[in-house]
Amino acid sequence: MDYLGHPYYVSGNAIYHAFGMQLEHDVHQHITASHGMFVPGQFGTFPEEHSQSGIRPYMGSSLPDVERYDDLFLFRHPDHPWLLDTRPRDGLNAHDIRFQSGMPALAHETIMGRPDDARKQQQTTRWYVNAYLHADDPDVLPLGEDSVAASPPRNRWSVNADHPLDGLQFGGKRNYGYGTTMLKDTQVVDLEALDYSRLEDGEAFILELVTPFVLRSEYPKANNVDVPWWWSVDDEAQLRYRLEKVIEGGDVYELETVDHGVVVGYDGDRPVETAMSGLTRVGNHSKYGFGELRVKPVTPDETNVNKQIEKPKSEH
């Protein structure tokens, strides 16, 4: 069903609380959730840094094997660089918008017309949500039927109706069926077993924020922080900021964040450890998907590094 919610992603907070309806409490308390990125089920090609190569049909609708650190970010960028250049990228990079009871909703599929001489007169692209879980107890993952609460709400029409990840709902108007998802694919990844050789062999690095990094939070007992010392930032005023929200029950708490997509230099000396921490997220509200970052190797030429560091104007 169509989704009425955050236009950039399904927040980790929403995913985490959706699990609370499905899982036993003893299991749920050990889980943290990433933000869920919207992915079109389209043809694609693996990027150069990926462990695999070549073109794959309907790449966005499956989970390729993960062997390298960079493999984990294949579907974590909203511009979808893996989409084939022969496809209408501008059209496939954005959700179709449909109004539901006067409210704009992200459509669960995009239907595009095709030339008159094409075999089919229209092309339908289904949308998926790419997210991952992390647990502080190694025995919790993967989730199985024994993780499910005694009487969870679920959609019996799904082929995976007995799996705790199936039938989750996100966004508004859930009581009318909006935001309903079906489980498509899962994969368990051992972060310590991944290939980090690109980082081990690198001499200079940049950091890309995959999800916003929280600086200030209205949430009770949250610790406000400054821009981390291991970020290389010439002028913090040039960082792009964004106001986000965390909802707990009927309470709404505002967050001041450094926006997703911002790129900064890296002043640390442990890139592999930083990369692993970035996967499980850093900073306030990391349990709810904030603070995910990617470490990228660059040439040690300072000019080259500066070219890749964005310095957009602040916005809220």
Give the H/E segment covering residue 229.
Answer: none
DSSP lists the bridge partners of residue 245 as 254
Query: pLDDT-based confidence at 228, cuts 50/70/90?
Result: very high
Rounded to whole angstroms, how far apart are CA atoms 170 and 177? 10
pLDDT of 264: 95
Q: pLDDT exceeding 70 applies to what percent of the chain?
A: 86
pLDDT of 92: 75
pLDDT of 241: 95
pLDDT of 70: 96
Please give the average per-residue pLDDT across 225-229, as a whole number.
93
Short-list 230, 235, 278, 285, CA closest to 257: 285
pLDDT digits (tens, 9 = 90+) for 46-69: 999 999 999 998 888 989 999 999
Which residue in the block uniquely carries the two structure tokens 């992915």?
Answer: 39
Query: pLDDT-based confidence at 289, cuts 50/70/90?
Result: very high
Instruction: State the burial class of residue 201 (Cβ atoms within 10 Å of its Cβ: 0-12, 13-18, 19+).
Output: exposed
Rounded to whole angstroms, how far apart are CA atoms 41 and 214? 31
Taking residue 185's Cβ as centre, other Cβ atoms within 10 Å add up to 10
The CA radius of gyration of the chain, in Å to the nearest whole number, is 20
pLDDT of 153: 43
Query: pLDDT-based confidence at 151, cuts 50/70/90?
Result: very low
pLDDT digits (tens, 9 = 90+) for 235-265: 888 899 999 998 888 889 999 999 999 999 9
Checking if the pLDDT of 159 tops 80, the result is no
Enter the tokens of residue 43.
């043809």
pLDDT digits (tens, 9 = 90+) for 175-211: 777 788 888 888 999 999 999 999 999 999 999 999 9
Please give the average per-residue pLDDT across 3-31, as a whole number.
87
Short-list 210, 191, 208, 171, CA closest to 290: 210
SS3 content of the chain, % helix, strand, coil (to 5): 20, 25, 55
Amino acid at 288: Y
pLDDT of 249: 80
pLDDT of 38: 92
Give the H/E segment covering residue 278.
Answer: helix 271-280
Checking if the pLDDT of 113 tops 80, the result is no
pLDDT of 58: 85
Checking if the pLDDT of 156 tops 60, the result is no
Checking if the pLDDT of 145 tops 50, the result is yes
pLDDT of 227: 94
